[in-house]
Amino acid sequence: MKSALFKLHIAIFLWGFTGVLGSLISLNEGLLVWWRLLITTTTLWLLSFRNREIRKLSGRDFIKIASIGCLSGMHWLCFYGSIKYSNVSIALTCLATTALLSAFIEPIFFRKRISLFEICLGLLALIGIGLIYFSNLAFSTGIYIGLFSALFIVFSSVLNKKYVTDYRPQTVTLYQITGAFICISALMPIYNHLFPAPSLFPSNKDWVWLLILSWFCTVITYDLYISAFKKVSAFTINLSTSLVPVYGIILAFAINHENKYFGHSFYIGFLLIIAAVLIQMLRSVRKKGNEIVIQDAAVA
């Protein structure tokens, strides 16, 4: 159990570190995501081939899983776009709303009633977002993009629960990351035309951060997470993953010194969002008992 908890918290820490890495990479968000996906996809296919873990899918199943991967790719694009147009703390604060957005979006897909209590939690989070928005109007574009990032990952997670529960996690990850890479590659000509970059290639420093982002914060992190959830309770899993934005913001404060940009309203707003998320998480765990739901591969 101690080993599993250690692996879980290493995974959470690395997920929290992805935002800071995104701020350190000089590429724009489109190229950053494309290079990350290229490295990650290539690595996953090589590892799957070496370990003989590649599972063949029908064309229909591949399209279904890869299409959900496209949503994950769009989440990454918006997440790093939010960082570039604001900062890591703003992007992660928006990402913290995913659990609450799921509480509203899941009932639509699974034909369930939205409870009045969840509406109240949503309003609490909305107040938190409002406090952050109106006290940081210079970052308003980043906030809009960050909320789209949260929406994309919620839709991805909901569709995963609805359509791909019968597949092994490794198989889902491989084909969804591949789908994300195909999607972003198809978008890149248009994206580069609309948002031209000085260079299409990473600098020497960028290569270092991209390799860390792709290998340590994606491939190795997901492997640690898969190993951990086999032995750790659902409550611990959900509580820990809800704290990814907290870890990430602490790292952004320590490394990027982003705390100098914020006043009391940011901290009050963030605490309101986190409080609403934790309350919703506790309610979900009680309802689902000890059921463990695998998080989407594209957490951050």
pLDDT tens string 194-222: 999 988 999 999 999 999 999 999 999 88
Which among 5-9, 191-195, 280-284 has the top mean pLDDT? 191-195
In a domain, 293, yes or no: no
Q: Tokens standing for 29?
A: 């968000």
How confident is the model at residue 272, as a pLDDT? 92
Matching residue, tokens 């929406």: 151
In a domain, 299, yes or no: no
**Nearest 5°: phi and psi at 275?**
-60, -45
**pLDDT, mean of residues 13-41:** 95
In a domain, 122, yes or no: yes
In a domain, 298, yes or no: no
Average pLDDT value for the chain: 87
pLDDT at 284 over 70: no
In a domain, 139, yes or no: yes
Looking at per-residue confidence, does 299 or 25 come out higher? 25
- Give the Cα separation of 228 and 1 in Å (integer): 9
Count the domains in the chain: 1
Q: Tokens standing for 171?
A: 């198989």
In a domain, 101, yes or no: yes
Range of 25's domain?
2-288
In a domain, 280, yes or no: yes
How confident is the model at residue 1, as a pLDDT? 63
In a domain, 249, yes or no: yes
